[in-house]
Amino acid sequence: MAKLIISPGQVQDPLAVQPVMKSASKRVLFSLAFRIFFLLGAAWAFLAVGIWTLWFSGQWTENWVFPPTLWHAHEMIFGFAALIASGFLLTAVQTWTGLRSAHGGFLIALTLLWLIARVSLLINAGPWSLAVFCVAQFGWWLGVIACFSYLIIKAKNQANRVQILLLSAMFMCNTLFVFLLIKQEFAAASYMGQSAIVLFCVLITLIGGRVIPFFTARALGQKQYKNPLLDNVLFWGSLFASVVFGAQFYFAFTQQAAGILILLSIAHLWRLRQWYHKGIWQESLLWSLHLSYLAMALGLLLAGLSLLTPLLALKDALHLISISAVSGMILSMMSRVSLGHTGRALKINVSLNGAFALLLVAGLIRALSGLTEHVLFYWQLSACFWLAAFSLFLWHYLPILTRARIDAKPD
């Protein structure tokens, strides 16, 4: 088996703008996955949370294909976050391999499948809605995985083959989630959704471990921190923790799972400390990434503690990861990738600083809401912060994502 190399020092900048041999599609929006996937992902983040907020506030009375809480979990994890992660990977793979990634008709087909899946869950037409959803959702997954895998394998890109495993694992989680829902095993489906959140931490561990120290060193003119051994230990440790966390719902080793999550959290905090430089506070595209990674480490710590004490609900703890860590890093990375891949300087509008901060605070509020006597109010406040953050992103990045590169190069 080929040795996996995941050290940030042994890969080139995954977001670097590199022209390829083929010209870009004439349809700017479908010239590369980041454009349409980021745009739709941000729009769905706003709409889906808006619908969810209306429901838990008693204002949404429409019927659902899935139970409301599980619809929310599914759409945030496998609808929104998975779309953005795929948009990043299908864009970065072009740089990693030098081969033309998804564009044109194929990308349009993927987009239509994703849209059909979202709409089908909002139109309760009984078995037909569910059947259409399954075909569209799983067809989208297979298309993304097939495209990414083909390019990685064709280019013999050993360093990034592990991400085929991560995409496949997320696809399997989605499949099991839906299968359990169909069987009306709602508790088990909820467990699968929670396991998927921890699995996303593996992707953050890998990608964040590459880009955060690289961007920090380059922006501040410092020597990049490199520790290949720690990178590998944290990656495989995170993958092992996600498996143990999922299994603890069915087997009697909850305390062991808690201990692993707590130890993993400490290791992430130590890693983050090695990356830290006081200069990050001058660049929002840096501190937003650092704080999102911090939120992941603290979220894992809270998740571990929640398995040991009833004072903190596991679902609340995981919201610190899903909102402040996963979605916080998504917002920061979307902002950076959209600028870099459209030929623009890596300088964001000052209001985006507020968007990053709002999302980080939203996760903290939601995670701690169960400790208060006004749970509904803090859920609504957290949702308002989320909606404001993605509104700001859409306002500033809609023209960027829908227009050609300013340097006239192909995507």
Say which residues have a Cβ less than 8 Å from residue 199's Cβ, sequence separation at least 6: 166, 169, 170, 173, 242
Mean pLDDT of all residues belonging to the chain: 89
Summarize the confidence of residues 292-313 as an average pLDDT: 95
Question: Which pLDDT tens digit goes with each residue over 76-113?
Answer: 999 999 999 999 999 999 999 999 988 999 999 999 99
**Region of poorest pLDDT, from 60-69, 130-139, 229-238, 307-316:** 60-69
- Per the CB < 8 A criterion, the answer to whether 341 and 91 are in contact is yes
- Per the CB < 8 A criterion, the answer to whether 293 and 325 are in contact is yes
Q: Is the pLDDT of residue 26 over 60?
A: no
Looking at the chain, the whole-number percentage of residues with pLDDT higher than 70 is 93
pLDDT at 59: 87
Q: Is the pLDDT of residue 5 over 70?
A: no
217 residue type, one letter = A
Q: Where are the domains of the chain?
A: 8-402
Instruction: Give the DSSP per-residue string, 391-408.
Output: HHHHHHHHHHHHS--TT-
Number of neighbours of residue 377 by Cβ within 10 angstroms: 12
- Containing 33, the helix (H) or strand (E) segment is helix 33-56
Q: Is the pLDDT of residue 21 over 70?
A: no
State the chain's maximal CA–CA distance in angstroms.
60
Closest Cα partner for 73 from 238, 196, 239? 196
- Per the CB < 8 A criterion, the answer to whether 202 and 86 are in contact is no
Closest Cα partner for 214 from 348, 13, 18? 13
Summarize the confidence of residues 368-387 as an average pLDDT: 94
> What angle, rounded to 10 degrees, do the helices at 328-340 and 375-402 form?
10
- Report domain 8-402's class: mainly alpha
- Per DSSP, 313 falls in state -
Question: Which pLDDT tens digit goes with each residue over 321-335?
Answer: 999 999 999 999 999
- Per the CB < 8 A criterion, the answer to whether 409 and 343 are in contact is yes
